[in-house]
Structure 1
Amino acid sequence: MKKHNFSAGPCILPHEVFEKSAEAIINFNNSGLSILEISHRSKDFLAVMEEARMLVLNLLGLEGKGYQALFFHGGASMEFLMVPYNLMKVDGKAAYLDTGTWANNAIKEAKLFGETQIVASSKEANYNYVPKIYSIANDASYFHCTSNNTIFGTQMKSFPITTVPIVCDMSSDIFSRNLDFSQFDLIYAGAQKNLGPAGTTLVVVKEEILGKSGRTIPSILDYEKQIKAESMYNTPAVFPIYASLLTLRWLKKNGGIAAIEKINEAKANLLYSEIDRNCLFKGTANIEDRSSMNATFILENNAHQEDFDKMWTAAGISGLTGHRSIGGYRASMYNAMPIQSVQVLVAVMQELENKNK
């Protein structure tokens, strides 16, 4: 039986992506070869890379606006390094918003390259909210933020208006909601949430912001060189990129970001309504900053934990345990999560309440 996968990542993907990926592992494009063994320079894979990059810009509404879509190795953690390497000017500075563990990790890497200003932080409240009042220096090389925080269950609902280039880590909510993506000068995202399996990372960058740092950048870390090589500077992650293409096709076929946003809102509203209604549970993130992707909550009385854990496990639910750093529970509801799985979780929560009346 297929389980209800609430894992934060690697996470659930559309069933048809699994099916088509499985077919390609045996015989890709009727070539008699597996996707796992074809040349990354073959005509078939070059077509995969080209379509995937094109679909990214199409879905984000960035076609013809001076952006390039690239696929890299190294996860979002590599981008923590590549962003300041490419964008922070020598003897310059960058501005960072600290909203959680991954934002903090990005800040640590940026400090290796120059002055890194933390414009605001919610660390003192265990990152249970997103700061909204802060100023960004006009001479900063860029402003960096994390749109969604998987560990603490918060999400930025708006972004600052500034003349400084905006860089956003969208690893856990890319393609999940309508935004004006042209407000961002660089977006990056690990694939393993809403895009594909672990192993590749998407970067979408406005070309005009590049080449201004004054740094000598190692070739493999240089966005300009990667653009020139069309994401083929070295052997790309062939299978994860192919699976990502299948996910992008699935999203496009089903109405794109506008359509999936409505589904995601329905799932989030269903679960948060139960968390707020049920006397046994309590949400951990500020209501106005709650993430539609990752709902974090706790039991009001830990005496119910053993019973609750047995119940959701018996219901076929997987990956509900909160991050090891904060505990509690975390229900990740990425694009491919059907609302029926959320209904199963809500039913278990109600059953626990009924047993303890």
Structure 2
Amino acid sequence: MANRAYNFNAGPAALPLEVLQKAQQQFVEFENSGMSLMEMSHRGAIYEKVHFEAEALLRELLGIPDGYKVLFIQGGASTQFAMIPMNLLPPGTTASYVATGSWATKAIQEAKMFGETSIAASSESDAYKRIPSLSELKYSSDAAYLHLTSNETIEGTQWAEFPDTGSVTLIGDMSSDILCRPIDVSKFGVIYAGAQKNLGPSGVTIVVIREELIAKPANTVPTMLRYDTHAKADSLYNTPPTFAIYMMNEVLKWIKANGGAAGMETRNREKAKMLYDAIDGSNGFYRGFAEAGSRSLMNVTFTMASEEAEKQFIKESEASGFVGLKGHRSVGGLRASIYNAVPAESVRALADFMRDFQSRNG
């Protein structure tokens, strides 16, 4: 479509055009049923086929081993900030967190409401411009769990490798980089991710949890905030976000058709290189925020010499069809979110625009 914007929004984010067009075709009537999927009972066979197909695809694409449950939960990753300690932080134990930026900090603040926490490592003194090295991690061998945020969308940093935590449960918030590359799920006790960046539209959050961690919580937890509630009912305890799950299923099919997680990594590295090359080759006109070894494949963050220059960049970029390049309100600067569904053509166009803008204003 010639009038499609160059969409670099941080989330909700770009969706594959093919998926949107298929959803458009199926929106009014789904599979000759005489109604839209959004009008159907979540207990019916037609919807359940979609529901369990999405789970199966997620298992296949992530390489989830036996012994894990896949849950579809509402409330976004922010609800998981509370559900994790409510279910997995018994009284008398301590949970460790790695402080890497804005979202990790929110998770820590929420956990403190439910129990004792400790900081295993932090890059706060470096303005969260880097991910701590594995050698910096300090946590007790009897910690309830170690929590990390795999990709910080606001600062534009990403873990290049994950720690082996032995008997300590590793928990990963992968909301902004899930399926951007292959990972070893077996390292983790829990992985969670809001769908609205790499998996689909907003409305559904996936939780991949080791079965041995699903039990009646030691704390008093409301029914809807217990993992065992959703696990026992195959995420159908109450009405799930059916359309969001349908859309996620279609995005997962698209990922599979385009090489799976490995195919996404190849695409994402090529896209990220275009922008980082434009930044690094600008002789300081553009200044990358994250340290080179911690740069994100998903969120390219950078600044310019002045706020006025950044405002002019935003003004001209918007006039040229680029959307979502303004940095998060908490840190300012500029940010291009290049999730799985952002086409390479859009990224190439942005890199060209950056060079042109520099030539006219440098």
TM-score (norm 1): 0.97
Cα displacement (A) at 1:318: 0.4
Report the secondary structure of 2:191's partner residue. strand
For residue 86 of structure 2, what is the aligned residue in structure 1?
85
Letter in 2 for 1:158: E
Report the secondary structure of 1:95's partner residue. strand
For residue 141 of structure 2, what is the aligned residue in structure 1?
138
CA contact (8 A) 1:86 1:222 kept: yes
Cα displacement (A) at 1:213: 4.9
Letter in 1 for 2:86: Y
For residue 277 of structure 2, what is the aligned residue in structure 1?
273
Alignment of 1:90-169 (within 5 A): 90-132=91-133, 133-163=136-166, 164-169=168-173
For residue 28 of structure 1, what is the aligned residue in structure 2?
30
Alignment of 1:1-357 (within 5 A): 1-63=3-65, 65-132=66-133, 133-163=136-166, 164-211=168-215, 213-279=217-283, 280-356=285-361
For 2:161 and 2:310, the matched residues in 1 are separated by 36
Question: Per-residue displacement from partner, 1:109-158 (whole Å, max 9, x unpaired)?
Answer: 11122111111222232211111212121111111000000000000111
Which stretches of structure 1, 4 residues or more, deviate above 4 A after TM superposition? none
Letter in 2 for 1:281: Y
Which ranges of structure 2 fall in alignment gaps of 5 or more residues?
Answer: none
CA contact (8 A) 1:68 1:207 kept: yes
> What value does the CA root-mean-square deviation take over the aligned residues?
1.3
For 1:249 and 1:17, the matched residues in 2 are separated by 9
For 1:11 and 1:173, the matched residues in 2 are separated by 12
Change (3 A) 1:113 1:27: same
Cα displacement (A) at 1:217: 2.9
Question: Per-residue displacement from partner, 1:167-197 (whole Å, max 9, x unpaired)?
Answer: 0000000000122121111000001000011
Letter in 2 for 1:119: A
For 1:328 and 1:90, the matched residues in 2 are separated by 42
Cα displacement (A) at 1:105: 1.1
For 1:87 and 1:5, the matched residues in 2 are separated by 38
Letter in 1 for 2:75: G
Structure 1 stretch 185-194 or stretch 310-319: which is displaced more? 310-319
TM-score (norm 2): 0.95
For 1:228 and 1:52, the matched residues in 2 are separated by 18
Question: Per-residue displacement from partner, 1:311-330 (whole Å, max 9, x unpaired)?
Answer: 31222110000000111100
For 1:212 and 1:286, the matched residues in 2 are separated by 42
How many percent identity over aligned positions? 46
Question: Per-residue displacement from partner, 1:278-303 (whole Å, max 9, x unpaired)?
Answer: 13111011110000000000112444
Structure 1 stretch 131-140 or stretch 324-333: which is displaced more? 131-140
For 2:171 and 2:12, the matched residues in 1 are separated by 23
Report the secondary structure of 1:171's partner residue. coil
CA contact (8 A) 1:89 1:212 kept: no
Letter in 1 for 2:40: I
Cα displacement (A) at 1:61: 0.7
